[in-house]
A and B are shown apart, each in its own frame.
Chain A
Amino acid sequence: MKMMKQNVMIAGLALVLLSATACKDGNKNEPAAPMSNEMHQESMDDMMDDKPMNEVDEMAMNNGQDAKAEAILTDYFKLKDALVADDNAKAKELGASLATTLGKLDISEYTDTQQSDLKDIVEDAVEHAEHISESDIAHQREHFKVLSKDVTDMVAITGTENTLYQQFCPMYDGGSAWLSTSKDVKNPYYGSKMLTCGKVQKEIN
């Protein structure tokens, strides 16, 4: 009887230990550390080389760098809309594509101070976008708050072609802001729970 008890205990211990490794395996699929901006830029340059001339010209006409800041904004607004719609899966996808777009921001034409600010903003924003790509919706919204600040700071440097509205919800996490292309308030932090909570705080452009 005593022998059996011991055996069961050993088996139990082994099970606990093995489940610990199972957890380790489960984490293997997660993406490694964020790729450096340089790497993103390199791959972007490669892509540009492969493009027919007229397409490259088209991008250059748009002043290159601004076109990319606009691309970041486009992805950011799509992500915001997914959060407004309480769509966790779509927000994951969009978080991942925003992280990629952010990494492609061409900062070469800015001043040194602006460049280091933009690098800092992008590094931070990429991390939040990556977290959004692998989190539940509550987490996504937490990260979206800081991401919104990063994107707002980016726009302050890069500017944008369109009029943007900085909106503010006093209820979420001690007050949280986000950007929108429309004056209408649609709250990404609460979604359908409190869709219209908030007000326009500032007009940008």
Chain B
Amino acid sequence: MKIVKIIAGIFLVALVLIQFIPVDYNQNDTVPQTDFMVVHKVPEAIQKKIQVSCYDCHSNNTQYPWYNRVQPVAWFLEDHIKEGKAELNFNEWDSLSSRRKTSKLRSIIKQIESGEMPLDSYTLIHRDAKFSKEETEEIINWVTQLKDSL
């Protein structure tokens, strides 16, 4: 009993302390002309889904609800944002060649299809980022169409 209390206490203190470590927030006011949504005509539902599920890590602008500002969630996000943007940045979409775009769209399809993206660790906290079966189908069909039209 006592040991449970002590361990919980240590965790709690650590949790409070790490809140004071500063974080680099990924935020921007403007949406550049190279943005995916500016370049392509994206159906509203899909646009919203992509923004909610992907843009936090794959654009220059992360939504920070309170739980994303809480450590260690904020760290976890910071790292994934860095990695995510290096892999694909929807804000800079149009700076890619058509070969690169096709390649990225292929990866998007594969990753959503296999359930790798959005990351489980991310949807665990961010429930509305999860794709339902119907949403998965809808988005894959749409992205496939876009890929074939490029």
Q: Nearest chain A CB to B88's CB is how many angstroms away? A: 10
Number of interface residues of A (CB under 8 A): 28
**A17 contacts the other chain (Cβ, under 8 Å)?**
yes
> Contact between B4 and A8 (Cβ–Cβ < 8 Å)?
yes
- Decide if B106 is an interface residue (CB 8 Å cutoff): yes
Q: Cβ of A14 and Cβ of B15 under 8 Å apart? A: yes
Q: Which B residues touch A171, using CB under 8 A?
A: none
Report the count of interface residues on B (CB-CB < 8 A). 26
> Is A61 positioned at the interface, with any CB of B under 8 Å from its CB?
no
Q: Produce 1/0 per residue, A6-25, CB < 8 A to B.
A: 01101100111110110110
- From B72, B83, B99, B100, contact of A17 by CB (8 A): B72
Residues of B within 8 A of A142 (CB): 110
Chain A residues near B72: list those with CB within 8 A.
17-18, 20-21, 24
Name the contact of A24 in the complex, choosing from B7, B79, B99, B125 (C-beta under 8 A). B79
Name the one of B4, B5, B100, B121 contacting A124, with C-beta atoms under 8 angstroms.
B100
A30 near B83: Cβ-Cβ < 8 Å: yes
- The answer to whether the Cβ of B1 comes within 8 Å of any Cβ in the partner chain is yes
In contact, B79 and A17 (Cβ under 8 angstroms):
no
A47 touches B (CB below 8 Å):
no
Q: In the complex the two chains form, is B8's CB within 8 Å of A32's CB? A: no
- Whether A128 pairs with B103 at a CB distance below 8 angstroms is yes
Q: How far is the CB of B93 from chain A (nearest CB, A)?
A: 15
Which of A7, A15, A23, A120 is the one whose CB lies under 8 Å from B4?
A7
Nearest CB on A from B117, distance (A): 13
Are B76 and A24 closer than 8 Å at their CB atoms? Answer: yes
